[in-house]
């Protein structure tokens, strides 16, 4: 069904990303059997991306008003309230759809439920494989989106096993490529054990390069992470993060993290830890030894599993001192979408972490799974409607495919003056860790942007081994070529927003400035250059107290 | 005697190799670490031509890292290997569903 000559595959809806949002969007778009849907995933579905790494908590809330109010206040009013309201009201329906699919949804206390990533994806995948109108392209990476006359037309795809480059021609795209903070900083919760989950932000950048607006890209969440080699980057449960956190003199850094929105995942707490480290008061330690806590089993099997894993690795805080560092976690900014999840390119929809406007300046724990589920279904539905209403357009993509092939195959050519990818990545981490981290200022950000541009100049020199099949260095080089743009976007947006709000803190503009900056920062690519603009925040239901 | 792990790893690229062979890596390690981290380290620091599914859900659940370690199918993410040990790494299946080196496609995922 998806055929034609070997170089071009056709469909009605293309879903990019095989995580929770992508799988659910694909289910929704294909459910009537009318449309041909292709799902492209960089790795095997349920065994790749960030979805399988999560704890699975999902906010439900018996009262949509409560959930809405919490998110907007925590987000410092930067959230688009029409989108948050939609999410708060739709979550029950979305969970019902999951239950109907056979996904275990466990109700917990206090307005939350648990849906585990691996289970959801495995069940979704099984159902998708059954559907004759769905094709799953796994171990395939999308490297470029194609837009013409303001509407999406297709994408360039790269088969990571055969090395073949081809076009997917489509009427609508759901971009569900997840997070972008995994590869930009030396520490990230996105990479358990330090092993990459490909959360490189290639989706954000491809949309930007095709002409879509991004918003609030300066809003990056940082979190406390264990530094011990055996459990590097492994996130514990919030329960483990009650502390106490102590500096090198034994002084407790924070009495009660729960006074802040987000608890130990709040920007206030992360800023405190950072300041202690910066003053030379590290190492920062979590020490729960001798607390004599009563053991009670977690209600969710996966949480028990994580606890047992932590014990097995010998890093249970109940028995050990755990050294803490700060790493990147989540990007609250993303593709600028309306309440149909449509971006500023017609027919390009976005769902999950790649979309902006949901969390504002701070993401509360448990709410990104909600975002993933609700907007996965919504974007799938809307993309399908769009595809039904639009005719196929005959296009030639010969220019795009030639350009992409040249870009991709450049890496496997011998270089006169080669440079290693790890050297460039280390340089990038150095810049981001130093100047685009928890505390920022004008000089640091300007210098970061300069250094990032210098690194960009050297990318064409990266040399990778010359074989086609599952070539890890080649895949990482391609990711790096896209993600370096993401680094510049974040640094530039951070320079643009001259105030402090949520996770974005400027030493030179330390106060929140609702009068001038209660707006979205917009980033777009025009005439080969990065440009900034602003856009109003949708404040339809609640305004900040003056 | 320094602290080393001797890793013997199955290699086969259907595009290039006539038949499978084994590569041997002698890796200096201070303390025990997971087999997946060891392989990741080998690929990054010793042999960029090695192919493996370098992914971890961090929970020993997703099955991406399943491979044969010392002849038994295991989750590489949480199988610990210690200094002084000899470890044999082979793909979860061969020749069925085999892609390259330690990479396979799961039959359920076909």
Q: Cβ separation of B51 and A469 shorter than 8 Å?
A: yes
The secondary structure of chain B in percent helix, strand, coil, rounded to multiples of 5, reads 15, 35, 55
Asked if omega into A244 is within 30° of 0 (cis), the reply is yes
| A30-44, A241-255, A299-313, A420-434, range with the lowest pLDDT | A299-313
Q: What is the 3-state secondary structure (H, E, C) of A129-191?
A: HHCCCEEEEECEEEEEEEEECCEEEEEEEEECCCCCEEEEECCEEEECCCCCCCCCCCCECCC
CB-CB contact of A175 with A16 (8 Å): yes
Residue B97 C-alpha, separation from nearest chain A C-alpha, in angstroms: 12
**pLDDT band per the 50, 70, 90 thresholds, residue A395:** confident
As a residue count, chain B comes to: 110
Q: Is the pLDDT of residue A6 over 70?
A: no
Please provide the distance, in angstroms rounded to a whole number, between the alpha carbons at the two ends of chain B. 47
Q: Is the pLDDT of residue A112 over 80?
A: no
pLDDT of residue A156: 97
Beta strands in A201-275 (DSSP E): 214-215, 220-226, 245-246
> b/e for A354-392, b at 16 or more Cβ within 10 A?
bbbbbbbbbbbbbbbbbbbbbbbbbbbbbbbebbeeeee
Whether chain A has a CB inside 8 Å of the CB on B18: the answer is no
- Residue A480 phi/psi, 5° resolution? -65, -40
Residue B55 C-alpha, separation from nearest chain A C-alpha, in angstroms: 6
CB-CB contact of A314 with A323 (8 Å): no
Q: Which of B31, B50, B56 sits opposite A193 (nearest CB)?
A: B56
Separation between Cα atoms, residue A145 and residue A66, nearest integer Å: 38
Whether chain A has a CB inside 8 Å of the CB on B37: the answer is yes
Separation between Cα atoms, residue A484 and residue A407, nearest integer Å: 15
**Which residue positions in chain B have pLDDT lower than 50?**
110
Q: What is the mean pLDDT of residues A315-338?
A: 89
pLDDT of residue A1: 34
Q: 3-state class of A355 per DSSP? A: strand
Separation between Cα atoms, residue A52 and residue B64, nearest integer Å: 11
Q: Which of A197, A306, A467 sits opposite B55 (nearest CB)?
A: A197
Q: Cβ separation of B49 and A467 shorter than 8 Å?
A: yes
Closest CA to B101 of B57, B38, B45, B54: B54
The secondary structure of chain A in percent helix, strand, coil, rounded to multiples of 5, reads 40, 20, 40
Residue B101 C-alpha, separation from nearest chain A C-alpha, in angstroms: 9
**How, if at all, do strands A334-335 and A214-215 pair?**
antiparallel
Q: Cα–Cα distances in Å, from A524 out to A35, A428, A492, A527?
A: 32, 22, 11, 10
Q: Is the pLDDT of residue A341 over 60?
A: yes
Q: Cβ separation of A469 and B61 shorter than 8 Å?
A: no
What's the pLDDT tens digit per position in A145-170? 999 999 999 999 999 999 999 999 99
Q: Is the pLDDT of residue A110 over 80?
A: no
> b/e for B41-72, b at 16 or more Cβ within 10 A?
bbbbeeebbbbbbbbbbbbbbbbbbbbbbeee
Give A118's contacts in chain B (Cβ within 8 Å): 57, 59, 61-62
Q: Cβ separation of B56 and A192 shorter than 8 Å?
A: yes
List CB contacts of B96: < 8 A, sequence separation 6 or more: B107
Where is pLDDT greater, at A207 or A319? Answer: A207
> CB count, 10 Å around CB of B21?
10
| A358-362, A396-400, A429-433, A509-513, range with the lowest pLDDT | A396-400
**pLDDT band per the 50, 70, 90 thresholds, residue A126:** very high
**How, if at all, do strands B4-11 and B86-90 pair?**
parallel
**pLDDT band per the 50, 70, 90 thresholds, residue A127:** very high
pLDDT of residue A240: 58
pLDDT of residue A20: 94
Where is pLDDT greater, at A416 or B69? Answer: B69
Residue A477 C-alpha, separation from nearest chain B C-alpha, in angstroms: 12
pLDDT of residue A397: 92
Residue A397 C-alpha, separation from nearest chain B C-alpha, in angstroms: 29
Q: Cβ separation of B58 and A192 shorter than 8 Å?
A: yes
Give A464's contacts in chain B (Cβ within 8 Å): 48
pLDDT of residue A527: 96
pLDDT of residue A237: 59
Please report, rounded to a whole number, the percentage of residues in chain A having pLDDT higher than 70. 97
What's the pLDDT tens digit per position in A184-228? 999 998 887 778 888 889 999 999 999 999 999 999 999 998 887
Q: Cβ separation of B62 and A52 shorter than 8 Å?
A: yes
* Closest residue, chain A, to B49 (C-alpha): A465
Rg (CA), chain A: 22
Q: What is the mean pLDDT of residues A401-430?
A: 92
Q: What is the mean pLDDT of residues A83-106?
A: 93
Q: What is the mean pLDDT of residues A254-282?
A: 91
Q: Cβ separation of B103 and A234 shorter than 8 Å?
A: no
Whether chain A has a CB inside 8 Å of the CB on B14: the answer is yes
Q: Find the chain A residues whose C-beta atoms sit closer than 8 A to any C-beta of B.
A: 43-48, 52-53, 117-118, 125, 138-139, 161, 192-198, 229-230, 233-235, 302, 305-306, 309, 312-313, 422, 464-465, 467-473
Whether chain A has a CB inside 8 Å of the CB on B28: the answer is no
List CB contacts of A248: < 8 A, sequence separation 6 or more: A281, A282, A283
Half-sphere exposure of B53 (CA within 13 A, CB side): 29
Q: Which of A52, A302, A469 sits opposite B99 (nearest CB)?
A: A469
CB-CB contact of A192 with A34 (8 Å): no
Q: Which of B34, B63, B99 sits opposite A47 (nearest CB)?
A: B63
Separation between Cα atoms, residue A480 and residue A497, nearest integer Å: 26
For helices A202-210 and A472-496, angle between their N-to-C axes, nearest 10 degrees:
70
Residue A425 C-alpha, separation from nearest chain B C-alpha, in angstroms: 12
Q: Which of B16, B33, B64 sits opposite A44 (nearest CB)?
A: B64
Separation between Cα atoms, residue B69 and residue B65, nearest integer Å: 11
Q: What is the mean pLDDT of residues A100-122?
A: 84
Separation between Cα atoms, residue A509 and residue A242, nearest integer Å: 31
* Closest residue, chain B, to A465 (C-alpha): B49
Give A315's contacts in chain B (Cβ within 8 Å): none
Q: Cβ separation of B78 and A312 shorter than 8 Å?
A: yes
Q: Is the pLDDT of residue A176 over 80?
A: yes
What's the pLDDT tens digit per position in A437-468? 999 999 999 999 999 999 999 998 998 999 99
Residue B96 C-alpha, separation from nearest chain A C-alpha, in angstroms: 16
Reported ipTM exceeds the 0.90 cut: yes
Q: Cβ separation of A47 and B57 shorter than 8 Å?
A: yes
**pLDDT band per the 50, 70, 90 thresholds, residue A241:** low
pLDDT of residue A519: 98
């Amino acid at each position: 069904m998806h055929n034609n000559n070997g170089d071009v595959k056709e469909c009605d809806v293309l879903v990019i990303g095989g995580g929770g949002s992508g799988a659910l969007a694909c289910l929704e778009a294909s459910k009537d059997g009318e449309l041909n849907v292709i799902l492209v995933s960089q790795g095997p579905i349920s065994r790749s991306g960030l979805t399988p790494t999560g704890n699975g908590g999902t906010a439900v809330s018996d009262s949509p008003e409560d959930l809405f109010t919490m998110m907007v206040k925590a987000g410092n009013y930067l959230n688009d309230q029409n989108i948050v309201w939609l999410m708060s009201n739709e979550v029950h329906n979305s969970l019902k759809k999951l239950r109907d699919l056979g996904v275990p949804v466990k109700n917990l206390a206090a307005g939350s439920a648990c849906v585990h990533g691996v289970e959801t994806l495995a069940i979704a995948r099984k159902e998708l494989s059954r559907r004759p109108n769905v094709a799953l392209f796994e171990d395939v990476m999308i490297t470029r989106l194609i837009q013409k006359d303001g509407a999406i037309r297709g994408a360039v795809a790269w088969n990571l096993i055969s090395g073949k480059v081809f076009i997917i021609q489509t009427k609508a795209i759901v971009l569900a490529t997840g997070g972008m903070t995994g590869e930009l900083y030396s520490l990230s919760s996105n990479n358990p054990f330090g092993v990459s989950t490909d959360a490189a932000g290639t989706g954000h950048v491809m949309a930007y390069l095709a002409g879509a607006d991004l918003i609030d890209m300066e809003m990056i969440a940082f979190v406390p992470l264990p530094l011990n080699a055996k459990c590097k980057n492994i996130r514990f449960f919030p329960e483990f993060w009650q502390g106490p956190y102590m500096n090198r003199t034994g002084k407790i850094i924070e009495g009660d993290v729960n006074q802040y929105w987000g608890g130990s995942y709040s920007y206030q707490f992360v800023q405190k830890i950072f300041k202690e480290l910066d003053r030379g008061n590290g190492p920062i330690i979590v020490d729960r030894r001798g607390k004599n806590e009563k053991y009670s089993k977690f209600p969710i099997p996966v949480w028990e599993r994580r606890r047992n894993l932590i014990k097995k690795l010998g890093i249970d805080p109940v028995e050990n001192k755990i050294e803490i560092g700060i790493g990147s976690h989540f990007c609250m900014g993303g593709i600028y979408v309306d309440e149909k999840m449509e971006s500023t390119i017609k027919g390009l929809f976005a769902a999950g972490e790649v979309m902006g406007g949901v969390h504002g300046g701070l993401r509360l724990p448990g709410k990104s799974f909600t975002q993933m589920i609700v907007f996965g279904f919504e974007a799938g539905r809307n993309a399908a409607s769009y595809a039904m209403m639009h005719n196929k357009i005959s296009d030639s993509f010969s220019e795009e495919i030639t350009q992409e092939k040249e870009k991709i195959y450049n890496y496997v050519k011998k270089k006169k003056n080669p440079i290693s990818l790890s050297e460039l990545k280390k340089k990038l981490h150095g810049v981001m860790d130093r100047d685009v981290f928890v505390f920022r200022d004008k000089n640091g950000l300007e210098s970061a942007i300069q250094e990032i541009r210098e690194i960009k100049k050297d990318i064409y020199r990266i040399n990778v081994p010359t074989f086609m099949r599952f070539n890890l260095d080649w895949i990482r080089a391609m990711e790096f070529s896209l993600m370096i743009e993401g680094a510049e976007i974040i640094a530039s947006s951070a320079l643009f927003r001259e105030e402090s709000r949520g996770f974005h803190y400027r030493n030179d503009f330390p106060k929140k400035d609702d009068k001038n900056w209660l707006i979205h920062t917009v980033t777009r690519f025009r005439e080969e250059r990065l440009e900034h603009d602003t856009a109003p925040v949708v404040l339809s239901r609640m305004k900040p107290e003056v | 005697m320094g602290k080393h792990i001797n890793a013997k790893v199955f290699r086969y690229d259907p595009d290039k190799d006539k038949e499978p062979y084994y590569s041997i890596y002698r890796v200096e390690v201070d303390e025990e670490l997971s087999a997946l981290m060891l392989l990741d380290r080998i690929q990054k620091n010793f042999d960029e031509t090695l192919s493996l599914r370098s992914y971890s859900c961090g929970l020993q659940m997703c099955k991406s890292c399943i491979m044969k370690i010392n002849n038994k199918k295991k989750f590489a993410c949480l199988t610990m290997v210690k200094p002084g040990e000899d470890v044999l790494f082979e793909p979860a299946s061969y020749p069925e569903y085999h892609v390259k080196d330690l990479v396979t496609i799961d039959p359920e995922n076909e």
